[in-house]
């Protein structure tokens, strides 16, 4: 799927398993996650958590550069939710609508791969209104994770 980003700059989307990531894409993905979640947000935490092996990785490339990523974790068992996380747009590519395009792509890929599952995410609390635009609703109270306020949010499947 190709969506427009900045005027004249198309974003080329891929959704790949861990084993389908080439070493350059993996390096850039981990570099971007560290740049945003650890350095920019001043939050030292263990990003490489062992879950990438089982995940689907949504990658957005603009002019050959990785500008957006998200991670989709499959349901752990029947009846549990798909989880979208590690949602990031590159600092130099923000304010172009990439966050919306990235979430649309992550939802599309989640629903395609796991059509009867609810979708959840652990949102930074200040981003709850953004995720609400996609049908996510709060499913609990605000909690601290790595010193940042988060809230679990759920989007129900078409079957619910």
In this structure, is residue 135 part of a structural domain?
yes
Domain range holding 38?
2-155
What b/e string do you get for 47-81 counting C-beta neighbours within 10 Å, with b at 16 or more? eeeeebeebbbbbbbbeeebbbbbbbbbbeeeeeb
Whole-angstrom distance, CA of residue 69 vs CA of residue 4: 16
Model pTM score: 0.90
Q: What is the CATH number of the domain that holds 39?
A: 3.40.630.30
Domain count, the chain: 1
Which residues have C-beta within 8 Å of that of residue 137, sequence separation ≥ 6?
A: 153, 154, 155
**For 27-73, what is each residue's pLDDT tens digit?**
999 999 999 999 998 888 889 999 999 999 999 999 999 999 999 99
Whole-angstrom distance, CA of residue 88 vs CA of residue 103: 10
How many H-runs (helices) and E-runs (strands) does the chain carry? 3, 9
Neighbours of 117 (CB within 10 A): 21
**For 129-142, what is each residue's pLDDT tens digit?**
999 999 999 999 99
């Amino acid at each position: 799927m190709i969506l427009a980003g900045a005027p004249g700059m198309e974003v080329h989307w891929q959704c790949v398993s861990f084993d389908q990531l080439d070493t350059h894409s993996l390096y850039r993905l981990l570099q971007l996650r560290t740049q945003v979640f650890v350095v920019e947000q001043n939050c030292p935490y263990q990003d490489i958590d062992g879950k990438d092996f089982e995940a689907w990785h949504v990658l957005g490339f603009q002019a050959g550069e990785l500008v957006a990523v998200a991670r989709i974790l499959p349901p752990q068992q029947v009846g549990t939710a798909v989880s979208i996380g590690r949602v990031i747009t590159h600092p130099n590519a923000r304010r172009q609508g990439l966050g919306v395009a990235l979430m649309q792509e992550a939802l599309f890929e989640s629903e395609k791969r796991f059509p009867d599952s609810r979708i959840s995410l652990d949102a930074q609390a200040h981003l709850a209104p953004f995720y609400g635009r996609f049908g996510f609703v709060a499913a609990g109270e605000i909690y601290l994770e790595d010193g940042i306020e988060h809230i679990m949010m759920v989007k129900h499947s078409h079957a619910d």
